């Protein structure tokens, strides 16, 4: 097959918000009243101004360095204008957006580079190593853990290496069901190219509309249908990686006993060890049928027990999620779609994708399990979730505009420790924010399930203080301490970045840190790749 690329233009995200700024909803009087009366929100938050009005300091790189980069990637693909630099500043966490809205763009790269090939990436890394210029690999810009804000002290400058031009479906092995893809493809672009040939990756995280395949791999992303398709790192069979020391070609077969699997050094490495320039990914036939249902349980613990039964003993759905009582009751998006009695209990979303016979069979058998456990169907809830599943970040932007502080965090543990972890994190968030004078609402759902355990995804809302970034940092630190104390991992799918680094080091221990430092010194001896992200000196 010939190499195929998307034909539609690449969409730029809002510089101080999520995605397309025209999609941010207007909050109803009811929601504004809840913010005022329930959370004590007294005044609007700082909103994003016009990009053209933003002041940005001049870049630090001199003409000699810029000329070397132009030679490496082509003059048209070395961008030094303020708009490009601002759009490549940090990621999309709430602190990232709050700092952008406050005019804090000190982390802006000095130049944005857009290579078109593996060899151009190697040339860029050679130039930057020689001149001690830090490099942050940049896909969709959707990181929420500080992974796009490297330490730049002691460096001559910072370049953002934007992979959007590396966006091809290179080949499709329909016999093995393996696609060779470039890392700059966004989720929808990859699905469109594969869908035209009858295939899907099946990876649909909330960041799907803007995140890239390279970012999925570098952060060990997990999609909303992970119960059926697996995490993205489960689907990656091969990687091509550009490092300052040369090229890594990893993965010849689905599994191998040829020593440790070096793919695992790159998956989750967040650009600290190399730049992913190619992937071989397992694909499946696109589903002929999709069915998403809502089921209501009396309690979070009762729902979790049934979820565990389905994933351990079957039949296993493709999508399996469970909201706690607070998240179910609040349901800010559309409470009327949860069916009768929606204010009580906990809502589960149970979805099935496959051929018609498979979907009919699994949904029928799972419905029997759910009904035997006392669950009641919630009319319209599954369809509502499917329609709105990418809308959450836009609602966050609207709430930030209104003066609320809204942010998320996630973790994972074994089923036996799930309740203790849940209680510990909820308690830590409530105690920290209440002590700061902003009692919060804390929502949670089980977002990804495995035979041995599950992840917990928390959403926190409260009134903004004068320093909302510091306010959240204090609460997040308390929650992170609670996660480790309760036996959870500091991240299930958001990654480490800089925000989680202190707790990640505690989780893996001193010897684990030394191993990462040794890998870093071998692949990146001048320490130019995303310095301070995932691993520090």
Say if CB 208 and CB 234 are below 8 A apart: no
Q: Is residue 204 part of a domain?
A: yes
Q: Taking the CB of residue 219, how many other CB atoms lie within 10 A of it?
A: 30
CATH number at 455 reads 3.30.300.330
The predicted-structure confidence for 42-70, as pLDDT tens digits, reads as follows: 999 999 888 988 989 999 999 999 999 99
Q: Is residue 238 part of a domain?
A: yes
Q: Is residue 66 part of a domain?
A: yes
Q: Is residue 407 part of a domain?
A: yes
Query: Measured between alpha carbons, how far is residue 432 from residues 355, 416, 440, 535 in Å?
Result: 48, 26, 9, 28
CATH number at 209 reads 3.30.465.10
Burial, 487: exposed, middle or buried (Cβ in 10 Å; 0-12, 13-18, 19+)? middle
Q: Is residue 532 part of a domain?
A: no
Whether residues 445 and 372 fall in one domain: no
Kindly name the residue from 229, 352, 394, 457 that is annotated as catalytic.
457
SS3 track for 258-324 = CCCCCHHHHCCCCCCCCEEEEEEEECEECCCEEEEEEEEECCHHHHHHHHHHHHHHCCCCCEEEEEC
Q: Decide which of 270, 285, 300 is a domain's last residue.
A: 285
Whether residues 281 and 179 fall in one domain: yes
pLDDT reported for residue 344: 72
Whether residues 144 and 177 fall in one domain: no
Phi, psi of 171 (to 5 degrees): -160, 160
pLDDT higher than threshold 70 for residue 172: yes
Q: Is residue 447 part of a domain?
A: yes
CATH number at 100 reads 3.30.43.10
Q: Decide which of 446, 461, 485 is a domain's last residue.
A: 485
CATH number at 321 reads 3.30.70.3450
Among 283-287, 339-343, 404-408, 509-513, the least confident range: 339-343
pLDDT higher than threshold 90 for residue 420: yes
Angle at the Cα of 432 (from 431 to 434), degrees rounded to 5?
65
Whether residues 154 and 177 fall in one domain: no
CA proximity to 397, closest of 41, 96, 52, 56: 96
Q: Decide which of 388, 416, 433 is a domain's last residue.
A: 388
What is the rounded average pLDDT for all residues in the chain? 95
DSSP annotation of 14 reads: P
Distance, in Å, from the CA atom of 488 to the CA atom of 500, rounded to the nearest integer, reads 13
Tally of domains within the chain:
4
Whether residues 400 and 469 fall in one domain: yes
Sign of the dihedral defined by the CA atoms of residues 364, 370, 376, 381, in that order: negative
Q: Is residue 315 part of a domain?
A: yes
The predicted-structure confidence for 83-132, as pLDDT tens digits, reads as follows: 999 999 999 999 999 999 999 999 999 999 999 999 999 999 999 999 99
Distance, in Å, from the CA atom of 425 to the CA atom of 410, rounded to the nearest integer, reads 10
Whether residues 299 and 376 fall in one domain: yes
Tokens linked to 322: 């469970």
Whether residues 79 and 141 fall in one domain: yes
pLDDT higher than threshold 60 for residue 352: yes
Whether residues 421 and 353 fall in one domain: no
Whether residues 176 and 272 fall in one domain: yes
Q: Which domain holds residue 92?
A: 62-162
Going by pLDDT thresholds of 50, 70 and 90, the confidence category of residue 10 is confident
Whether residues 280 and 173 fall in one domain: yes
Percentage of the chain exceeding pLDDT 90: 94
Q: Is 450 a catalytic residue?
A: no
pLDDT reported for residue 332: 39
Whether residues 281 and 174 fall in one domain: yes
The predicted-structure confidence for 248-306, as pLDDT tens digits, reads as follows: 999 999 999 999 999 999 999 999 999 999 999 999 999 999 999 999 999 999 999 99
């Amino acid at each position: 097959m010939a190499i195929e690329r998307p034909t539609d233009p690449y969409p730029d995200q809002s510089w101080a918000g999520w995605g397309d700024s025209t999609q941010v909803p207007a909050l109803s009087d009811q929601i504004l009243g809840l913010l005022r009366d329930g959370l004590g929100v007294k005044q609007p938050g700082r909103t994003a101004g016009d990009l053209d009005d933003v002041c940005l300091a001049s870049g630090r790189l001199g003409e000699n360095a810029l000329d070397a980069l132009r030679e490496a990637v082509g003059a048209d693909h070395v961008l030094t204008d303020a708009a490009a630099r601002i759009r490549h500043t940090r990621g999309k966490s709430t602190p990232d957006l709050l700092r952008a809205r406050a005019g804090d763009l000190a982390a802006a790269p000095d130049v944005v580079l857009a290579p078109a090939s593996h060899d151009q990436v190697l040339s860029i890394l050679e130039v930057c190593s020689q001149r001690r210029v830090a490099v942050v690999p940049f896909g969709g810009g959707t990181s929420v853990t500080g992974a796009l804000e490297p330490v730049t002290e002691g460096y001559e400058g910072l370049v953002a290496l934007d992979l959007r031009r590396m966006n091809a479906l290179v080949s499709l092995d329909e016999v093995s069901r393996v696609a060779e893809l470039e890392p700059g493809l966004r989720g929808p672009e990859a699905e469109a190219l594969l869908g035209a040939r009858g295939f899907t990756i099946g990876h649909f995280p909330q960041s799907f509309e803007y995140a890239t395949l390279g970012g999925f791999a570098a952060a060990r992303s997990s999609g909303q249908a992970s119960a059926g398709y697996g995490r993205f790192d489960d689907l990656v069979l091969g990687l091509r990686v550009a490092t300052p020391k040369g090229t890594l070609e990893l993965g010849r077969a689905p599994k191998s006993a040829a020593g440790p699997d070096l793919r695992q050094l790159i998956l989750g490495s967040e650009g600290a060890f190399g730049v992913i320039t190619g992937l071989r990914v397992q694909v499946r036939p696109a589903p002929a049928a999709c069915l998403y249902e809502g089921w209501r349980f009396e309690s979070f613990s009762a729902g979790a027990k049934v979820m565990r039964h389905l994933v351990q003993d079957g039949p296993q759905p493709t999508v399996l999620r469970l909201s706690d009582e607070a998240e179910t009751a609040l349901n800010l998006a559309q409470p009327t779609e949860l069916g009768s009695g929606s204010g009580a209990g906990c809502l589960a979303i149970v979805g099935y994708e496959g051929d018609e016979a498979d979907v009919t069979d699994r949904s029928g058998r799972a419905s029997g399990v759910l009904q035997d456990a006392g669950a009641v169907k919630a009319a319209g809830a599954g369809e509502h979730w499917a329609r709105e599943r990418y809308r959450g970040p836009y609602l966050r932007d609207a709430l930030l505009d209104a003066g609320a502080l809204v942010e998320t965090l996630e973790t994972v543990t074994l089923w036996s420790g799930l309740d203790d972890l849940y209680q510990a994190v909820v308690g830590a968030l409530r105690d920290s924010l209440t002590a700061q004078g902003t009692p919060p609402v804390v929502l949670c759902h089980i977002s990804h399930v495995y035979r041995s355990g599950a992840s917990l995804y928390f959403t926190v809302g409260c009134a903004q203080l004068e320093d909302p970034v510091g306010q959240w940092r204090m609460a997040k630190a308390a929650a992170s301490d609670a996660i480790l104390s309760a036996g959870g991992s500091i991240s299930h799918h958001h990654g480490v970045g800089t925000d989680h680094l202190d707790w990640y080091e505690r989780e893996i221990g001193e010897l684990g840190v030394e191993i990462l430092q040794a890998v870093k010194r071998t692949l990146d001896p001048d320490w130019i790749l995303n310095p301070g992200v995932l691993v520090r000196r």
